[in-house]
Amino acid sequence: MNYQMPKPTSHRRDFLQGKALQRSAADVKSINQINSMPENDATSSGTPSYLLHISRKAMACNFQIFLNAGEHELATEAAVEALDIVEEIEDILSIYRIHTSAAQLNQLGKAQAVHVDAILLQLLKQSKELWRRTNGAFDITSTALSKLWGFHQKEHRVPAMTEIQESLKQVGSQHLIIHDDGSVQFAQPELQINLGSIGKGYALDRCHQHFVANNLTNYLIHGGLSSVLAKGHRQSETTQDSGWQIGLRHPLIPEKYLAHLWLKNMAAGTSGDANQFFYHQGVRYGHVLDPRTGYPVEKVLSATAFSSTAAEADALATAFYVMGPEQSAEYCQQYDSGFLIVEQGKQNRATRLHVMGLADNQIELIDPSAKLIFYD
């Protein structure tokens, strides 16, 4: 995930001084009949559900916040402040800005122990723990492999096996050394970190913390459609307890939806290669690489992970894509999480949906050719 240059931030003191009025007006897209990601513009009863929709570009995608209009008098202020927090986090985690804590670690970590920002330190610890839990399927140090396959500069190539084996020596969170004093260094000199697979989710979690502090209870937030956090419910006369409806796009037919999902007090992250792949000698190669083998993942079309936090859901989406349904099920039996993994079906454009952690009333198939497979 690429990052972009930050915009000026506004803070609570700006609101008190009236300096953020123009910024707030620009962020508020509409108070209208809109959905977060579902296609329809009304509830199942036909009654419109009015939402406050606030959006801003950050972390190379659109972060959007949806709240029930009129439910909280300070909702707009709280939402704009939450998006300010996202930008502040981006200015810590981006590896594409030379002044950030993450970029400084990439530059200096091979030569010395580096004291990093507390937010970065927290995410590095969490990432290394998830690397351990997933047996290396999730790894924030796999940059060398992405560069080797040409996905960073979009100069795609199929590397030789010897090149892959050499790059694998530069990958592995076991080389990420976190000291008790909060400093970090690299045991492998060529190691590089990239928080793109967990950073957006962490930003959503921080938005949630901000909303809790401001007594907001019902909202949906997403970063680039692939990271979602849903709390409480969408205002509706008939489906008040069902949470928020989102649409899962078809990985083989992007203009269509595969299923509707209903989320309440949970986070979801989705990983897939529908937009980043190339063909070589008739073979399709996607950008999601298995950091343990160095090769693109096969068979899985998309993986959505469900968890109590967006950071974990983000990371697990990548891990579950790499692991596939059977290994993911073993993981979820041990840890409190779930998944929806889409694989190619037997017929052209048909799909199989492997599901764990969702109840029957939380998923509705749209594609009649899709097959649901539930795991206990």
Q: Which of 22-31, 35-44, 195-204, 232-241 has the highest mean pLDDT?
A: 195-204
Pairing of strands 61-68, 114-115: unpaired
**Could you read off the pLDDT of 47-75 as tens digits, one per residue?**
445 889 999 999 999 999 999 998 988 99
Token readout for 208 is: 């949630």
pLDDT reported for residue 346? 81
Strands annotated E in 169-255? 176-178, 183-186, 219-223, 227-231, 244-249
- Do the bridges between strand 371-374 and strand 351-356 make them parallel or antiparallel, or are there none, so unpaired? parallel
Identify the burial level of 115 via C-beta atoms within 10 angstroms of its C-beta, where 0-12 means exposed, 13-18 middle and 19 or more buried.
middle
The amino acid present at 138, given as its one-letter code, is: F
Span 125-147, pLDDT tens digits: 999 999 999 999 999 999 999 99
- The predicted pLDDT at position 137 comes to 97
Where does residue 333 fall: left (phi above 0), alpha (psi -120 to 50 degrees), or beta otherwise? alpha
Output the CA angle 168-174-180, nearest 5 degrees: 150
- Residues forming beta bridges with residue 270, ordered by sequence position: 304
In this prediction, residue 47 carries a pLDDT of 40
Q: Which of 308, 287, 314, 273 is nearest to 127 (CA)?
A: 314
Residue matched to tokens 């090769």: 295
pLDDT value of residue 284: 84
Residues 288-313 have pLDDT tens digits of 999 999 999 988 999 999 999 999 99
Joined together, the tokens standing for residue 157 give 């190539």
Under a CB-based contact definition with an 8 Å cutoff, are residues 93 and 85 in contact?
Answer: no
Tens-digit pLDDT profile for residues 21-57: 334 334 444 332 223 343 333 333 344 458 899 999 9
Q: What pLDDT, in 10s, does the model give residues 221-230?
A: 999 989 999 9
Report the alpha-carbon distance of residue 360 to residue 301 in Å, rounded: 22
3-state DSSP assignment of residue 337: coil
Residue 237's pLDDT is what? 52
Q: Identify the H or E element spanning 12.
A: helix 12-17
Give me the residues paired with residue 56 across strands: 63
